[in-house]
Amino acid sequence: MDLRQRLVHLALRRPHALLVEVPGWWRTRVETERAMARRGWRPASSPAGADVLVVCGSPGADLGEVVDRVTDQLPGPRARVAATAPEEVATALDEAAARLADERAQRDDARDRTRADRADRADQGGDGGDDGGDDGGEDGGEDGGDDEDDGDSEMAPEGIPLAGSGPDRDGLEMDVLNVPLGPVLEHWPAGLVLRCVLQGDVVVEADVDVLAGGAAASPSATAAVTCDGAARALDLAGWGDAAAGVRRVRDLVLDGHHDQARRDLDRLAARVARSRVLRWSLRDLGRLDPAQARAHGLPDDAVGDVHDRLVAMLERARDGLAGRSDAAGDRSAVVEALPTLVHGLELAAVRLVVASHDPDTLGASRQERADA
């Protein structure tokens, strides 16, 4: 084996994958996460950190377009694969690994991209090509950054309009920036797009949309879904260990090991409720009183702050497992309420508030379709 091959071989021990979940393909995404963990693959937080893009489900036209743009941002060697059922996941990951290992194809891919990139720049008449860049990475973490042009259109270095400005919460004039959150974002509800107008990192205006899939698959086991939502909130609170524990419970439920799942969940829920650091960190974030919750049509357990809702989510999962009540409630109304709920919060808080409400994007997109 020469050095190059050895390098490739080593690199393939630890590919990083960015997951895109289409609403309705929850089960497929979960299976992908599990298969990745078994293989020692790591989740990526942004396209720049990913080798593989796994699309879980069949996206509709809008989501498909976003996925294409995100694929363009992968630095390469890269592979984009799709799985539309849990059984297809293993094959998809095998395929991704094989494509990453194919040196010749990856070299061709890199060359084609450089060419396409140059042609693009020539078309735009821009100077470009400052370093013969291999990559035309777009602005923004996830989907190409801001496209609305609020500022003077002639002031647009490299095609990106400069930020406009508006009055901020202290009555001063401050730059505004359009940053979409989602749909391809780690620990984020499937298909959700929250188009935020930011001043600094404070959301001053938001507008919500769900990019749905083709024919959606059936919804799945409630306790497991709730565990998954709680794990997401814990990850966003920066507590990866607890999140991994709750995810393991989710997997136990899916595999039918209910007794073990119940025991583990009891222990974890107690640990989460006990943690003083977590409570100190999440206390008073996104607080809702019962009247506000009712006004938005939210379930009763949406009352309180992020910490209360996280504890309630774990409680709900425990109830579901114990077969007590299946009080999951209808969590699709949350989607419509999100712009109001996140108004005036800074980005970290927005992420936590969204996760703590555990919005049901599949339900919301179905309702929208029924209304139309």
Partner 1 sequence: MPEVVTVGAAWAVPAALLLGLVAVVAASADAVMVARRDGVDVRTGAIAPLAETARLLRQPRRVTPAADAPLWRVGRGGLLVAALLMVAVVPWGSWVPADLPVGVVWFNAVDVTVWAFVWLAGWGPNAAFSLVGAYRFLAQALAYELPLMFALTAPALAAGSLRVADVAAAQQGLWFAVWMPVAFAVYCLGVLGFAVWGPLAPPTGGDIAGGVLAEVSGPDRLLLLAGRYALLAAGAVFAVPLFLGGGAGPLLPGWLWVLVKALVLVVALVAVGRRLPALRPDRFLELGWMVLLPAVLLQVLVVALVVVL
The footprint of partner 1 (CB under 8 A) covers 7-8, 10-11, 13-16, 37-38, 40, 45-46, 48-49, 51, 75-77, 110, 130-131, 133-135, 137-142, 145, 157-160, 177, 179, 185-187, 198, 200-201, 234-242, 244, 275, 277-278, 280-281, 346-348, 351-352
Residues with Cβ within 8 Å of 257's Cβ and at least 6 positions away in sequence, in order, are none
Contact 52, 96 (CB under 8 A): yes
Instruction: Give least dist CB 325 to partner 1, A.
Output: 29
**Cis omega (within 30 of 0) on the bond before 183?**
yes
Round to whole Å and give the CA distance between 180 and 177: 10
Residue with tokens 């270095």: 157
Q: What angle do CA 232, 236, 264 make, to 5 degrees?
A: 45
The helix/strand/coil state of 226 is helix
For the chain, the farthest-separated pair of C-alpha atoms sits apart, in whole angstroms, at 68
202-210 and 192-199 strand pairing: antiparallel
- Residue 369's alpha-carbon distances to 65, 127, 160, 179, 363, in angstroms, are 20, 46, 35, 26, 10
Instruction: Give least dist CB 221 to partner 1, A.
Output: 21
Q: Please, which residue, 81 or 234, has the CB nearer to partner 1?
A: 234
Instruction: Give least dist CB 197 to partner 1, A.
Output: 12
Residue 259 in tokens: 């007794």
Instruction: Give least dist CB 284 to partner 1, A.
Output: 10
Instruction: Give least dist CB 290 to partner 1, A.
Output: 26
Q: Please, which residue, 260 or 275, has the CB nearer to partner 1?
A: 275
Contact 52, 100 (CB under 8 A): yes
Q: Please, which residue, 242 or 328, has the CB nearer to partner 1?
A: 242
Q: Please, which residue, 125 or 323, has the CB nearer to partner 1?
A: 125
Q: Please, which residue, 194 or 216, has the CB nearer to partner 1?
A: 194
Residue with tokens 């979940």: 21
Q: Please, which residue, 212 or 236, has the CB nearer to partner 1?
A: 236
Q: What is the CA radius of gyration of the chain?
A: 22
The DSSP 8-state label assigned to residue 237 in this structure reads T
Instruction: Give least dist CB 138 to partner 1, A.
Output: 7
Amino acid letter at 189? P
Instruction: Give least dist CB 159 to partner 1, A.
Output: 7
Round to whole Å and give the CA distance between 66 and 82: 15
Residue 144 in tokens: 């190409």
Instruction: Give least dist CB 365 to partner 1, A.
Output: 24
Residue 255 in tokens: 């595999």
Contact 331, 358 (CB under 8 A): yes
Q: Please, which residue, 210 or 345, has the CB nearer to partner 1?
A: 345
Q: Please, which residue, 101 or 293, has the CB nearer to partner 1?
A: 101
Q: Please, which residue, 176 or 312, has the CB nearer to partner 1?
A: 176
Instruction: Give least dist CB 6 to partner 1, A.
Output: 8
Nearest to 198, CA basis, from 338, 334, 343: 343
